[in-house]
Every structure is written in C-alpha cells, then in structure tokens.
C-alpha cells in the first residue's frame, strides 16, 4: 500500500506526526507538501494528492488543513475522488465501508496526533463492503 499525503500550513505539524506513524507501520508514502509552516494554499496540495490517487500512483490519500474542511472541499472537486473529513474512528470506518472513500481528511487544529493516528489506522485497515446498495450510491455520486 502506498499513501499520498499533503497538507497546508495548518496541517503541517499533524502531517509530520502521521508520517512518523506510517513509518512505524511500514506503510510507504509520498509527501506532496507543504514542507514548512509558512502560509500556503491548501487547494494546491489537495490537487496533487488527488492526482496521485486518481492516476493510481497511490492507493489512498491523506490531506490535512486547519479544520479539514477546505482541503476536503478542494479534493472532492476532482473527478473520482471521495474525500471524507473524519474526526473519529467511527466515521473513518463508515466512510471506507459505505463510501469507498479514497482520501482521508483531517483537521490539524481539531484532532490531536494520538487520535489522528487511530483514525488513519481505521481508515487504512477498513475494506469497502462491496454491498450492492453502497455501490449504487457511489455510482449516483459519480454521475454528478
């Protein structure tokens, strides 16, 4: 499994913690930036991570901004992306099972590093259910 990860300045510190966590899990990742805490524009990083997921360079993406809201909106503008903002493990599990979400979004100013790493684990370890009704709903989303 290979993960695309990116953040803006508001998510930079949490991204650093998540990358350390991925390393302990021996999960390969590519960091698409940002690379410091100077103010920057989250859509740039959302597009880069989304491109890596849609072109199958990476299986999943993780995006982090201050709240997780802006970066999830930006990622969801990209065709084929189902980015989910999660603040707990239940949401991470449900979005993988029901929505086959391919990008996890987090708020660096909303969740602490410990919880964020648990959310990441839940997201990465939960398979899509392949339930017919969920597949139908995903197709309806993709029609728009």
Contact 111/21 with Cβ under 8 angstroms? Answer: no
Q: Please identify every residue annotated as catalytic.
A: 65, 98
Sheet holding 60-65, edge to edge: 28-31, 2-7, 60-65, 103-107, 83-85
Cα–Cα dist 142/144, whole Å: 5
Beta bridge partners of residue 63, listed in sequence order: 6, 105
If 0-12 CB within 10 Å is exposed, 13-18 middle and 19+ buried, where does residue 101 land?
Answer: buried
């Amino acid at each position: 499994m290979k993960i695309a990860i990116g953040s803006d300045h508001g998510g930079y510190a949490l991204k650093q913690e998540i990358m350390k966590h991925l390393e302990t899990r021996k999960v390969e990742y590519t960091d698409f930036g940002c690379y410091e805490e100077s103010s920057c524009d989250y859509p740039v990083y959302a597009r880069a991570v989304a491109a890596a997921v849609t072109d199958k360079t990476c299986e999943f993406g993780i995006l982090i901004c201050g709240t997780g809201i802006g970066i999830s909106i930006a990622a969801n503008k990209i065709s084929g992306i189902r980015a989910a903002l999660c603040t707990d493990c239940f949401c991470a599990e449900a979005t993988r099972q029901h929505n086959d979400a391919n990008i996890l979004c987090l708020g660096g100013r909303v969740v602490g590093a410990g919880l964020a790493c648990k959310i990441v684990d839940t997201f990465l370890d939960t398979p899509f259910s392949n339930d017919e009704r969920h597949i139908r709903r995903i197709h309806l989303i993709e029609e728009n």
